[in-house]
Homo-oligomer: A and B are copies of this chain.
Amino acid sequence: MNLPPLIRSFVLHFGEMGSRWGINRTVGQIYALLYVAPRPLCADDIVEALGISRSNVSMSLRELQAWNLVVLKHLPDDRRDFFTTPDDVWQILRTLAEERKKREVDPTLSVLREILMQPAGSEEEAHAQQRMAEMHDLIEQLTTWYDDVKRLETERLATLLSLGSKITRLLETKDRIVSFGRARKSERPGERRTGAATPRKDPEE
């Protein structure tokens, strides 16, 4: 590996972090390198910088493309592919969130739904379904929130973040002034709201 020391530390750290996240080390390193590079890099630049095999670079770039994390550039009169990351860090965050949701959250939700459709064959299974329904509802709440918030432009999202929990304090006040928080009285968190995930046994009780 042949890199200026600051960039080197960054790249190595992201390699480490990558492996904690199920992304592999090389993929993490390549991403980090592209992220800080002042111009798009081609595969051989990466081979050179990280000292890994050409084929490994090829496979890892493929992986990064599958995650939509890199942008492909072409220079005139050069048929090599050059790669960068998007300039906007918020955009990167959005992509990351979207991809992880697609790969991890959505399949989990659908497994949970499927299990919850089946009839429980025992007390034990009925209890398990109850627990899975709780998990299902939590995840559904979070993804609904996410789907809503992800559409915000960056500036608004940043505003929302910088307010944080202050918002609830604001809402406290509004509750009493504007007619805004009305629906919330009847709906305590933890209780089931959607019909979809209700286990079979419920009707009999």
Chain A contacts to B: CB under 8 angstroms: 4-7, 9-10, 13, 17, 19-22, 35-38, 88-90, 93, 103-104, 107-108, 111-112, 114-115, 118, 120-125, 127-129, 131-132, 134-135, 138, 141-142, 144-145, 148-149, 151-152, 154-168, 170-171, 174, 180-181, 184, 187-190
Give the distance in Å from the alpha carbon of A184 to the alpha carbon of B157 in the complex: 12
Out of B6, B89, B142, B148, which one reaches A138, CB within 8 Å? B89
Out of B120, B121, B162, B180, which one reaches A141, CB within 8 Å? B162
Out of B7, B88, B127, B160, which one reaches A36, CB within 8 Å? B127
Complex interface: chain B residues within 8 A of A160 (CB): 165, 167-168
Complex interface: chain B residues within 8 A of A90 (CB): 138, 189-190
Contact call B138/A162, Cβ cutoff below 8 A: no
Residue of B nearest to A151 (CB): B165
Do most interface residues of chain A lie in helix, strand or loop, or is the interface mixed?
helix
Complex interface: chain B residues within 8 A of A37 (CB): 128
Complex interface: chain B residues within 8 A of A17 (CB): 104, 107-108
Complex interface: chain B residues within 8 A of A129 (CB): 6
Contact call A6/B36, Cβ cutoff below 8 A: no
Give the distance in Å from the alpha carbon of A107 to the alpha carbon of B37 in the complex: 22
Complex interface: chain B residues within 8 A of A127 (CB): 36, 38
Contact call A6/B120, Cβ cutoff below 8 A: yes
Among A156, A164, A166, find the residue whose CB has the most chain B CB atoms closer than 10 A: A164
